[in-house]
Structure 1
Amino acid sequence: MAADLSDLASFVAVANAGGFREAARAIGGSASALSEAVRRLEAKLGVRLLNRTTRSIAPTEAGRRLLERLTPALGEIEAALDVVNGFRDRPAGVLKLNVPVSAARLVLPRIVPRFLAAYPDIRLEVIADDRFVDVLAAGCDAGIRYDERLEQDMIAVPIGPRRQRYATAAAPAYLDRRGRPEHPRDLLDHACLRGQFASGAMTIWEFERDGEVVTLEPGGPLIVRVGAATDLAVDAAVAGSGVIQLFEDWLRPHLDSGALEPVLEPWWQVFSGPFLYYPGRRYLPTPLRAFIDFTRSLGDEAGPDQ
Structure 2
Amino acid sequence: MPDPNLADLDAFVAVARARSFRGAAKLQGASASALSDALRRLEARLGARLLNRTTRSVTPTEAGARLLERLGPAVREIADALAAVNDSADSPAGTLRLNAPTVVARHVLPDIVARFLAAYPGISLEVETNDSFIDVLAEGFDAGIRYEERVERDMVAVPIGPCRQRFVLAGSPAYLAARGVPRHPRDLLGHACIRHRFASRVTAQWEFERDGETIRIAAAGPLIATTPELEVHTARAGLGLVCTFKEYLRDGLADGTLVPLLQDWLPDFSGPRLYYANRRHMPAPLRAFVDFIKADIR
Query: Normalised by the shorter chain, which TM-score bucket?
Result: over 0.9
CA drift of 1:182 comes to: 0.8
Partner of 1:268: 266
| 1: CA distance, partners of 2:262 / 2:89 | 55
Conservation of the 8 A alpha-carbon contact between 1:206 and 1:269: no
Deviation at 1:230, TM superposition (A): 1.4
Query: Percent identity at matched positions?
Result: 59
Equivalent in the alignment of 1:122: 123
CA distance in 2, matches of 1:66, 1:136: 17
The whole-number CA distance in structure 1 between the counterparts of 2:146 and 2:95 is 21
Tell me whether 1:288 sits opposite 2:286 in the alignment.
Answer: yes
- For 2:200 and 2:110, locate their aligned partners in 1 and report how far apart those are by CA, in whole Å: 27
Which piece of structure 1 moves more, 200-209 or 143-152?
Answer: 143-152
**Secondary structure in structure 1 of the residue aligned to 2:208:** strand
RMSD, aligned CA: 1.6
TM-score by length of 2: 0.94
CA distance in 1, matches of 2:32, 2:232: 38
* Partner Cα distance (2:87, 2:289) in 1: 15
Contact 2:83 2:282 in 1 (8 A): no
Alignment of 1:100-139 (within 5 A): 100-139=101-140
> What SS does structure 2 have at the residue aligned with 1:148?
coil
CA distance in 2, matches of 1:79, 1:157: 21
Shift of 1:150: 4.2
- The 5 A counterparts of 1:218-229 are 218-225=219-226, 229=227
Report deviation, 1:137: 2.4
Q: Secondary structure at the match of 2:166?
A: strand
2:20 is equivalent to residue 19 of structure 1? yes
Q: For the Cα contact (< 8 Å) 2:228–2:248, is it kept in 1? A: no
SS in 1 for 2:239: coil
- TM superposition score normalised by structure 1: 0.92
Secondary structure class of the residue paired with 2:216: strand
Letter in 1 for 2:93: A
Shift of 1:149: 5.3
Distance 1:260 1:130 in 2: 25
Query: Which aligned pairs between 1:175-254 and structure 2 lie closer than 5 A?
Result: 175-225=176-226, 229-254=227-252
Change (3 A) 1:149 1:247: farther
CA distance in 1, matches of 2:228, 2:29: 28
| TM-fit CA distance, 1:151 | 4.0
> Aligned partner of 1:247: which letter?
F
**Cα deviation digits, residues 58-89 of structure 1 (max 9, x gap):** 22222122212221222222122222223473
**Cα distance between partner residues in 1 of 2:120 and 2:253:** 36
Unpaired segments ≥5 residues, structure 2: none
Aligned to 2:71: 70
Is 1:255 paired with 2:253?
A: yes
Deviation at residue 269 of structure 1 after TM alignment? 2.7
Residues 87 and 179 from structure 1, CA distance in 2 versus in 1: closer, same or farther, beyond 3 angstroms? closer
Q: Deviations over 1:112-169 (max 9, x none)?
A: 1111111111111100111322212221101101113544542211111121111000
